[in-house]
Amino acid sequence: MILLGALILGLLGGFGRAALQGLPYQPPYPKHLWLIPAAFAPQLLVAYLPATRELLPYWLAAAVLPSSLLVFLAFAWVNKGLAGMPLLMAGLVLNLLVIAANGGWMPISPETASHLPGGGVLDAASLGTRFGQKDILLPTEDTRLAFLSDRFLLAGWCHYVVAFSLGDMLVAGGAFWLLARPARAKPTTE
C-alpha cells in the first residue's frame, strides 16, 4: 500500500510539475516492463490468493519472495538510468537482505504486529510462523538485521494501518521520483 500511495503521488507530482512548466506530462519509458508482472505473479500466488497460498509447501513459499525481489531488482538494474531507480534499487536490496537473512520472509515483531488490524490474532499465532501476507512473526532479539524489518507504522492520523520497512520507504521514494520527474522526450528505438 505504501508503494501504491507513492505511485499515485508521483503521478500527481509529475502532472503538476509538467503543468507548471507548460508541457505535457511525459511518463518514463522503462525497458523490459514484462519483468514487473513476472516478478509479481509468484507473490500473488503465495501471498494474496487464499486458494494457492495454503496449497504451496512452506519451503517453496519461502523461496518465492526473495526470487521475486531478484526479478524486480533485475528490472530496476536494466532501467538504472531512469530517475529514482538507484533509490528503488537500494530499497530492494535492503528488503532482499533482511528477507534472505530470515528464511525467505519479512520479519515483523509481535509489538509491531499488535498495532495492525487483526492484531488480536497474535494470541493464536506462534513465533516463527507466517503473519499476514509476506511476514514472519519474530521477536526483535531473534531477528537478523532487525533494523531492516517491517518495524515502522504510518502516523496515527492516517486511517490506514500498515507496517513497513526502511527498504519499503526507499522503494516508494524511488517510485515516486520516477513518476514525479517527467521524461524530457520519448527515447528513440535502439
What are the tens digits of pLDDT across the range 80-138? 999 999 999 999 999 999 999 999 999 999 999 988 876 655 665 688 888 888 999 99
Q: What pLDDT, on a 0 to 100 scale, did the predictor assign at position 160?
A: 80
Q: What pLDDT, on a 0 to 100 scale, did the predictor assign at position 130?
A: 86
Q: What pLDDT, on a 0 to 100 scale, did the predictor assign at position 54?
A: 83
Q: Is 59 helix (H, G, I), strand (E, B) or coil?
A: helix
DSSP E strands in the chain: the ranges are: 106-108, 130-131, 135-137, 152-153, 163-164
Mean pLDDT of 67-71: 97
Q: What pLDDT, on a 0 to 100 scale, did the predictor assign at position 115?
A: 87
- pLDDT band for position 183 (cuts 50, 70, 90): low
What is the amino acid identity at position 116?
L
Phi, psi of 142 (to 5 degrees): -100, 5
Q: What pLDDT, on a 0 to 100 scale, did the predictor assign at position 104?
A: 96
CB 183, CB 29: distance < 8 Å: yes
What are the tens digits of pLDDT across the range 28-57? 999 999 999 999 999 999 988 988 888 888
Q: What pLDDT, on a 0 to 100 scale, did the predictor assign at position 124?
A: 59
- pLDDT band for position 185 (cuts 50, 70, 90): low
Residue 148 has pLDDT above 90, yes or no: yes
Q: What pLDDT, on a 0 to 100 scale, did the predictor assign at position 156?
A: 74
User: Euclidean distance between the first and final Cα of the chain, in Å?
Assistant: 35
- pLDDT band for position 165 (cuts 50, 70, 90): very high
Q: Give CA separation, 84 vs 7, 79, 118, 133, in Å.
A: 12, 10, 34, 27
Mean pLDDT of 174-188: 78
